[in-house]
Amino acid sequence: MAAIKRSGGMCIVQDPNEADYPDMPLSVLNAMNVDFCVSLPKMGELISEILKNNEELKKVDVPADIIIEAEIDNRVSTRIDNLSRFEKVEVNCPDCGGGFWITQKENPAHYRCHVGHSFTERELLIRVSEVMENTFWTSLRMMEERRTLLMKLYKKRHGKRVFCYCRASLCNG
């Protein structure tokens, strides 16, 4: 929506009180000033009125960074040289671990990695939290599995040479 506004467009948002999923319209309303916030049944009528009253829609030069963002969105992979015009940030992509650039600073800020993953600040924070939690549970599961394996070895060998397996796995792993 910020790109639409910056490109001279109007922003029409569904009334979050009637939306099945109110997070998206609420996110837009919290991030920026919109032109209209209407119920879904009235939206088509509003768009029709706007088009009738603006017989000659003004042409606006779309900002270069928005054009680049759109081009990146249309590709599966992003060339790093396309991102070099943006500010690199000290955060890595939670999905691929790649470098991150901030491609839009105004509210809501927007981040993109070199392979095309794209996040608003809120989405990024949620995704980083999910990855952290998954990493924690994976680590816990792996420790439990290792303990189970060592206990099986201990029982199988009646305690003999299990220390060697433990020590070898710690030193080599």
Q: Taking a C-beta distance cutoff of 8 angstroms, is the pair 89, 102 a contact?
A: yes
- In this structure, what DSSP letter does residue 90 have? E
Question: Distance between CA atoms of 53 and 140, rounded to whole angstroms?
Answer: 62
User: Strand, coil or helix: what is 12?
Assistant: strand
pTM of the predicted model, to two decimals? 0.51
Biggest CA–CA distance in the chain, Å, is 88
Residue 118 CA: distances (Å) to CA of 77, 103, 115, 151, 161: 12, 9, 9, 45, 51
Q: Is 103 exposed, middle or buried (0-12, 13-18, 19+ CB in 10 A)?
A: buried
pLDDT digits (tens, 9 = 90+) for 117-170: 888 888 999 999 999 999 999 999 999 998 898 888 877 776 666 656 555 555
pLDDT digits (tens, 9 = 90+) for 34-60: 899 999 899 999 888 888 877 666 677
Q: Which amino acid is at 164?
A: C
